[in-house]
Chains A and B, each alone.
Chain A
Amino acid sequence: MKGDPLPDQDHICRYCSVTKLTEDGLITGAAFQLRPSDKYLSVNWLEFFQLGDRQEQIGEVRKASRLNPGARAKLAVLNVEKMANFVRTQSPDARKLRVLHEPEENDPSHSGIYGFGCDDHLIADLIAETVQELYPAIELK
């Protein structure tokens, strides 16, 4: 349901434009920065699809994407608990982040990371440190 917190053990993925990646294809904190108009950071909840295989989960996210993904963009996968714990224990102000379900009509797994703002670059850089897996944002043929 909308507003429900995601289970700690579950995973989220974030669309990362190639303009936020290093030349070596590594994720930078810019991929997790908010725009001034954003209330939360958009992500997708992978376990929502109830598919055991990560590739299948990623496939569902690709189908639902409202973005115009660049050819070299990536989807970064993070674990909810690890991300929140790392930020809480490593940020100077022990920041508590929450990941809540924010389903949308054509994007039912859509969710949001709450608890930081557009000026919290340090928090964005900490989140980037917890990326566990990377996948191409568009399926490679």
Chain B
Amino acid sequence: MIRNERSFTTWHDNIDAYEEYFLSKNFPATYLDSTDWTEPQAWLRKKLMGLRSQQSPITTEHEVKEEASIDPKSPFEAIEDRLSEDEKVYEIIKFLNDQINITFSKRLANRIQFLIEASKEEYPDEVAILPESLKNFVSFLQAKPNLKYPDVVLSPSKNIRAQWRTAPNRHFAVEFLPTGDAHFVIFTPDPKHPDKTNRMSGIVSVDSLMPTAQPQGVLSWCS
């Protein structure tokens, strides 16, 4: 068997090189394209993302500990890529109805259902809600279980927009974009001049949303 020409310094290099060779010979080009997510080849995807399982088909029983923190499949990844946008949204609603770590999950599921029906009533031929946006919103709520139930509406682009507002100067609105980013608006009392209102907006990753918003005191009315 002819292997590639790189020189091997450790047995790990040997294995990696063999995997490269094996993949190039045994998988179609689309499988090796990191932008192609049509095939749920979890192990292969992780390898292409630099998250290769240490327990691959070739490297068995090696440094399994390092993998323990990486959940190989999120509940959302289980949703088949072949589903239509609307079907994906219904799958997420089903998931919400089974959730116990979001205290208002059933109320939220009902609200999303209402938004779908209202959106279809006005624009029957359009997608009701972008599933990636809904997914990012639900993931955010799962990571922040202490947040109160927000007002949930749809943006013109059919993204989820959540709003926590108790007064004109206690306003935190977030549009969850399908890209994994969040477009936020905050109106909050100026800590030095409480009669004045600080107003700011921006786009950050959903993961950075609360670290960005928290210093503005949003948790005083959102949680």
Contacts and interface: CB of A to CB of B under 8 A. Distances in A.
Interface of A: 17-23, 26, 28-30, 33-36, 67-73, 90-92, 118-119, 121-122, 125-126, 129
Contacts of A72: 118
Nearest to B186: A122
Determine the main DSSP class of A at the interface with B: loop
B118 A17 contact: yes
A19 B160 CA distance: 10
Contacts of A118: 156
Contact of A30 (B111, B154, B168): B154
A34 B157 CA distance: 9
7 contacts: A19-B154, A23-B111, A28-B151, A67-B122, A68-B122, A90-B199, A91-B199
Contact of A19 (B122, B168, B187): B122
A132 to B, nearest CB: 15
A125 B121 contact: no
| Residue among A18, A26, A90, A119 with the highest chain B CB neighbour number at 10 A | A18
A122 B118 contact: no
A23 B175 CA distance: 17
Contact of A36 (B157, B163, B185, B187): B157
A19 B153 CA distance: 5
Contacts of B122: 17, 19, 67-70, 73
A91 B123 CA distance: 33
Determine the main DSSP class of B at the interface with A: strand
Given A20-B154, A90-B197, 11 more contacts: A20-B153, A22-B153, A23-B111, A28-B151, A28-B173, A30-B161, A36-B157, A90-B199, A121-B184, A121-B185, A122-B200
A121 B163 contact: no
Given A22-B163, A91-B199, A92-B200, A30 B185 contact: no
Contact of A122 (B111, B155, B199): B199
Contacts of A35: 156-157
Interface string B76-110: 00000000000000000000000000000000000
